[in-house]
């Protein structure tokens, strides 16, 4: 990035450049293509305000103009974050159509969802929610600017995406044929693993210093949303640990915390039942192995176990367990192992537990100390503690 796009993070006496997401590229390419389609003028640069209010100034590449459509691209810059998509070009082809609907789809190099449990439905292009919202926002603003009231077809493509997807876990996640268009803030924050774990420690230290000896631990936004919306608990008393289960437990022990309650989606937290303390897919992916073993322990036959092992998502596996009337007993078995490994890492001084959930089923399982942990965490609020 150049000019006003170059923001930096200072870490361990070195500057790390931020980047921008494939979602930002798709939205900027859409804006540029529509500007040219509706104005009739070719442009070389475009600005984009990201969801976190950072303005990008980007070069428009590979412009093709016809009577009713325009195509152009924006080159991805990941800054100093290691990312296989760095330097690729994300294209938008915008075409006028009858009606008033704005239709977004994926072209070459953008994956298709083939399994349940992802942000988009089966058959849809793997363009996540926030990038879709960004694309729609830019399209509507350009239409209003040029007093255009008909429909639009917007096709996002990444020619290099077919090959790049082979270097990702997309095929195992049920996304075929290309990469995903991602991003929640529009900006890529470069962070080393050490920087991430330091941030986790600092989050917990802040809670401790504000009187919170008991807290939640969530992998990310899904856990926060589930705490707030489904359980009705205060997500302000939560530490985001990303994939670093073991590190956040160690932090809690080192800070003399009294209790830690994990609230996580089954797709990540079930790995703890196999003793995995870093749940990133690059480190380990034993989800189906865990479910299959516990299903076998609970009486599943060979055919069911084989079916479970062939699943790509935990959503699929849960449906099979429900069909076989095994979900409850399997999750009870799983949670015993989750508790064993959490307690083994935490030692005797830290109360620890976990709640596993899925978007479709809600709470799937709990360890034995969940009720006690919830009581202590919520009591802190009633005692008048607050975050400064």
How is 310-370 classified by DSSP, letter by letter? T-SSHHHHHHHHHHTT-HHHHHHHHHHHHHHHHHHHH-SSSEEEEEEEETTTEEEEE-TTH
147: confidence class by pLDDT, cuts 50, 70, 90:
very high
Q: Where are the domains of the chain?
A: 3-188, 193-382
27 touches 50 (CB < 8 A): no
The class level of CATH for 3-188 reads alpha beta
326 touches 296 (CB < 8 A): no
Distance CA(283)–CA(268), nearest Å, equals: 12
**Cross-strand pairs, 15:** 10
Verdict on whether the full-model pTM lies above 0.85: no
Supply the pLDDT for residue 1: 39
> 272 or 81, which is more confident?
272
Left, alpha or beta for 175 (phi > 0: left; psi -120 to 50: alpha)?
beta
Distance CA(108)–CA(176), nearest Å, equals: 11
- What letter would DSSP give residue 227? I
Supply the pLDDT for residue 163: 94
Closest alpha carbon to 170 in 281, 86, 289: 281
Closest alpha carbon to 169 in 279, 89, 285, 71: 285
Quick one: what percent of the chain has pLDDT higher than 70? 91
263: confidence class by pLDDT, cuts 50, 70, 90:
very high
Per-residue model confidence as pLDDT tens digits over 101-125: 999 999 999 999 987 767 788 899 9
**pLDDT greater than 50 at residue 3:** no
> 222 or 130, which is more confident?
130
Q: Which of 5-9, 203-207, 238-242 has the lowest mean pLDDT?
A: 5-9
Per-residue model confidence as pLDDT tens digits over 180-224: 998 888 877 665 566 678 778 888 988 888 889 999 999 988 888
Which whole number is the average pLDDT over 291-315?
Answer: 96
Distance CA(56)–CA(66), nearest Å, equals: 27
The pLDDT mean for the chain works out to 89
Q: Which of 146-160, 206-220, 348-362 has the lowest mean pLDDT?
A: 206-220
Closest alpha carbon to 253 in 159, 343, 341, 347: 347
Closest alpha carbon to 33 in 75, 62, 5: 62
Q: Which of 18-27, 94-103, 146-155, 228-237 has the lowest mean pLDDT?
A: 228-237
In degrees and rounded to multiples of 5, residue 32 shows phi and psi of -65, -45
36 touches 46 (CB < 8 A): no
């Amino acid at each position: 990035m150049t000019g006003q796009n170059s923001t930096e993070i200072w870490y361990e006496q070195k500057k790390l450049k931020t980047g921008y997401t494939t979602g930002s590229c798709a939205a900027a390419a859409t804006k540029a293509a529509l500007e040219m389609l509706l104005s009739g003028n070719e442009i070389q640069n475009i600005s984009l305000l990201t969801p976190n209010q950072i303005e990008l100034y980007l070069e428009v590449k590979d412009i093709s103009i016809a009577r009713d459509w325009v195509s152009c691209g924006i080159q991805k810059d990941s800054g100093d974050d290691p990312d296989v998509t760095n330097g690729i070009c994300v294209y938008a082809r915008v075409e006028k159509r009858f009606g008033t609907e704005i239709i977004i789809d994926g072209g070459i190099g953008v994956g298709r969802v083939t399994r349940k449990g992802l942000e988009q439905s089966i058959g849809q292009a793997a363009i996540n929610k926030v990038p879709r919202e960004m694309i729609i926002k830019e399209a509507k603003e350009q239409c209003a600017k040029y007093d255009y009231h008909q429909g639009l077809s917007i096709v996002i493509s990444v020619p290099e995406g077919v090959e790049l997807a082979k270097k990702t876990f997309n095929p195992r996640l049920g996304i075929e044929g290309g990469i995903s268009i991602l991003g929640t803030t529009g900006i890529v924050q470069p962070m080393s693993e050490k920087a991430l774990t330091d941030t986790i420690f600092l989050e917990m230290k802040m809670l401790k210093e504000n009187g919170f000896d008991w807290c939640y631990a969530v992998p990310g936004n899904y856990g926060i949303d589930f705490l707030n919306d489904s359980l009705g608990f205060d997500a302000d008393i939560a530490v985001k640990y990303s994939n670093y289960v073991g590190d956040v437990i160690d932090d809690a022990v080192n800070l003399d915390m009294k209790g830690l309650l994990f609230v996580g989606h089954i797709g990540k937290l079930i790995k703890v039942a196999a003793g995995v303390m870093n749940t990133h897919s690059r480190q380990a992916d034993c989800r189906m192995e865990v479910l299959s073993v516990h299903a076998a322990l609970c009486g599943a036959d060979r055919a069911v176990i084989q079916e479970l092992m062939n699943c790509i998502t935990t959503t699929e596996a849960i449906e099979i367990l429900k069909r076989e009337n095994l979900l409850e007993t399997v999750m009870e078995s799983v949670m015993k192992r989750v508790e064993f490994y959490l307690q083994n890492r935490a030692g005797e001084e830290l109360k620890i537990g976990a709640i596993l959930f899925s978007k479709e089923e809600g709470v799937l399982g709990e360890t034995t100390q969940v009720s006690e942990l919830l009581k202590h965490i919520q009591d802190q609020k009633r005692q008048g503690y607050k975050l400064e």
